Every structure is written in C-alpha cells, then in structure tokens.
Structure 1
Amino acid sequence: MPAVASSPIPAVLGPLDADRIADLRPYLESVPDPRSRRGRWYALTAILLVCACAAVCGAKSIDELAEFGERATNSLLASLGIRRRLLGWRRSPKPVTIGRVLQALDGDALDQAVGAYLANRHRITASADVPAARSRQAIAVDGKALKGSARPDTPRRHLLSAVTHDRVATIAQVEVGVKTNEVRHFKPLLAPLDLAGTVVTFDALHSVKANITWLVETKKAHYIAVIKTNQPTAYDQLAALCCDRIGSPGWRS
C-alpha cells in the first residue's frame, strides 16, 4: 500500500462513537504484521481499525488518520484495541508509526480482508431486502488507475476490482503490476468469492475462454461480456450470430 501524502488537517473530522464501529477485527486479524516482534506496542489490528474509522470520518492523509486517534475518547480507543498505559490512559499511534506500518503492509492481504468483510455485509443486507434476495446478484469486474498514486519515479498504480451492481460495494480488489495485465488477475480476484448463481459482468478484455469456462464450471456463475465496437473482430462475429443464440440484439450496442 502506498504511503498517503500529507495535507492540511481540517478543523473538524466527522464524529464516530464506539457503538457505531463496524466490527472489522475478525477480518483484519488475517492481515500479516510486517513488523518485528520486538518493540511492538500497538497491535496491527488496532492501527488498522484506527485508520478505518478515521477514513470513514473523512480522513484523507496520514496526519488526519493520526488526528482522529488523538481526538478519540478513551473508551473508543479501548474498543479499537489500543493498549492501556500504566496510568490507565490510552494514546493513539503517531503519524510516523501509522505511515511506516501502511508502507510496509501487504496491500493485497488488506484488500482481501476488507473485501471479505464488505462481501459478508452485502450478503446480510441483500438477504434482509426481500426483493433483492429474490433477484440474481450481479458483480462487475473492471480495472482502473488509482487516483493520486503516481510518484515522480513511478506511474499510477492499477487496480482490478469486483463491485456489486446494487448497493455498490467493492468486495474484492487486487493490484495489477506494471509487468502484467488484468486478465491474469481475473481468477485470483474472484476465487475467494461465493459466486454460485451470481451474474458477473466484464468487458472484452476478460472474454478469455479459460477464464469464462472456470467462471461457469468451477464457480457456478453466469456472465455477461460487454463487447463494443472498439473490438471490431469480436463484435462482427457476434453480430453475425442468430438472435435466438445470443438473446436480444440490443445488448450489443
């Protein structure tokens, strides 16, 4: 995970009470700690929970992540897992500590943990919504460059994500390296997800026979591959098929 650039601290960050904290702890505990065992005061899960709560409240830089912890009440810090000092008070990690941890962290492991949490929350919400529960769930797979991730010596980082169509949530995400492409990350991205009966949508780039076969036969999912005119060969081949083999012709537009 790239370090977050510093920016001016806003006058007020949004409030967050202990009772409103989503329990990410079981998911974040699966993220490996990159630090040596010696000299640790803060648990990795506690640091990540502070960052998660601060981000929900509007923090956009390391300084703001740390500021949230400084403004948090003792009871809130306790619920986040911040250890108590000798005199009974708790102190949130400083910006330098947060920055070092985030820079050394395994970004893919963190993405998997947060994605698993969001996927579970999405299932719970969908099951509570009767009309949504009766309809087929849909997930879009797409890749985008990460805004603000470029550095003088490196290009912007590229992410491949799985996003729900309804109640939009990113339930899986992996980084695509500069020496590879999105197609190779298609299976690793979707492998941890329960896709039985789900409709997966993607563009022409992922219309690879091996990936589609795996999606249908192994994951028991359905799919819609969007083929546009910027892929003229595939588009013309599909346009030449009989409509009863491909459904409504309007899907090609």
Structure 2
Amino acid sequence: MPAALDQLTQASAPVPLTDAVALSGFLGLVPDPRGVRGRRYQLSALVAAAAASVLAGARSLTAITEWIADAPAWACRALGFPLAPLTGTVSVPHPHTLRRLLVKLDGDALDQAIGAFLTARTTPTGPGLRAIAVDGKALRGSRTATTPYVTLLAAMDHTGHVLAQRQVADKSRVAGGNFAPRLSRNRA
C-alpha cells in the first residue's frame, strides 16, 4: 500500500465515503502517470476509491481492490466512476489497473494532497505555538537498483497528523549532522 494512503488510517473519526469524496477535490495536485490513450477512469475517482477503502479498514492492495469491487453502485458513482453507456451500470476498474496506477503515482504529490486534505479537515487549535515533531525513517523493503533503502523525513503534529513527508537522499543527513542543528537554531 502506498505510504501516503497510510496517513489516512490516522484520521480521527473517519467517514470513508464522505472523506474520500472530499479528498477528490485535493487530488488535482497529483499528476496522472498514465498515458493519454486508453484512460477509462479519472485519476481522482481511482485514488478516492483507494482512499475510501483505506478509511474503511483496508490495509493491503488486495484489500483495497476487493473493497472497490464489493462497493455498492451508488458509492462508486459518488466516488466518480462512470456509468457504462450500454447497460447503465457503474463499472469499476480491474484490480490490476488500480495496482499499476498506485505503483506509478508520484508519492510526494499524493502525500501533499492527502496532507492538505487532513489539514483542512482538522479544526484549528487557536492562537499560540504549535508543537511539531520531525523524524526520518528508512523504509524496510524499499531497496532499488541504486539505493539500499528509501529514507523519508516527516513532520507531524502532536495529535498524530502528518503535516509533510519527503523522500531524502541519505539517512545520515536526517539523523546526524546537517538537519538537527539547523532545526535547533530556528527554534531559539
């Protein structure tokens, strides 16, 4: 499951369908990695459906695709899936279509869109200082041809909402020398 969608599991009192429909308004920040030819479903509908399934409890790509396949027609229609022109029924994507799309999505752009949605969803705490924790993590099982692992740097408020998350070049820059002193100087 994409790490950005995992942020949605920490949403307080989620309402899967309503929140996913609201999220689709923020998905304009996410570029569509698919070719222009052969697009049958809108990007916002596919990602909103994946988000609704995560909010409903799906924790894997298989569970996400099963939730979408089992969703009632009115829910799929609300998420933005089109009616089949000949039958008038709502068609949903094949599981492989959704898996291919989720793998190709720009993780940073999706993370920004979900972060903006979660920020807009929360109520402001009022005037004053806001505590933010910053931490870096190496993702297990994220080896690529050029790197032994992918490292993410995340900023989170103390209610558990991820404010921003970025992939960084090297874990040593997060944990040690360069990042921590700049953060402490800015706080003073």
Aligned to 1:206: 179
Q: Which has the larger radius of gyration?
A: 1
The AA in structure 2 aligned to 1:98 is L
Aligned to 2:93: 93
CA RMSD of aligned residues (A): 3.1
Aligned to 2:137: 144
SS at match of 1:24: helix
The aligned runs of 1:1-253 (5 Å cut-off) are 18-19=17-18, 21=20, 23-86=22-85, 87-122=87-122, 125-126=123-124, 132-147=125-140, 149-151=141-143, 155-165=148-158, 167-178=159-170, 181-182=173-174, 206-209=179-182, 223=187
TM-score, scaled relative to structure 2: 0.78
Q: Is the 8 A contact 1:150 1:157 kept in 2?
A: yes
Q: Structure 1 residues 23, 178: closer, same or farther in 2, change over 3 A?
A: same
**How many equivalent residue pairs?**
176
How many Å apart are 1:120 and its aligned residue?
A: 2.2
How many Å apart are 1:97 and its aligned residue?
A: 0.6
TM-score, scaled relative to structure 1: 0.60
SS at match of 2:25: helix
Q: Which structure exhibits the higher relative contact order, with contacts defined as CA atoms closer than 8 Å and separated by 6 or more residues?
A: 2
Stretch deviating more after TM superposition (33-42 or 108-117): 108-117
How many Å apart are 1:207 and its aligned residue?
A: 3.3
Deviations 1:142-180 (A, max 9, x none): 111234x33596634221111001x21001111123598
Report the Cα distance in structure 2 between the residues aligned to 1:17 and 1:173, rounded to whole angstroms.
Answer: 23
Q: Is the 8 A contact 1:17 1:76 kept in 2?
A: no
Deviations 1:61-110 (A, max 9, x none): 22211111111111111111111112111122222111111121111111
Q: Is the 8 A contact 1:114 1:171 kept in 2?
A: no
The AA in structure 1 aligned to 2:60 is S
Report the Cα distance in structure 1 between the residues aligned to 2:100 and 2:172, rounded to whole angstroms.
Answer: 27
Q: Structure 1 residues 174, 39: closer, same or farther in 2, change over 3 A?
A: same
How many Å apart are 1:138 and its aligned residue?
A: 1.4
Aligned to 2:10: none
Q: Structure 1 residues 17, 49: closer, same or farther in 2, change over 3 A?
A: closer
Identity within the alignment, %: 37
The AA in structure 2 aligned to 1:110 is L
How many Å apart are 1:32 and its aligned residue?
A: 0.4
How many Å apart are 1:30 and its aligned residue?
A: 1.6
Q: Is the 8 A contact 1:159 1:175 kept in 2?
A: yes
Q: Is the 8 A contact 1:161 1:174 kept in 2?
A: yes
Report the Cα distance in structure 2 between the residues aligned to 1:26 and 1:70, rounded to whole angstroms.
Answer: 23
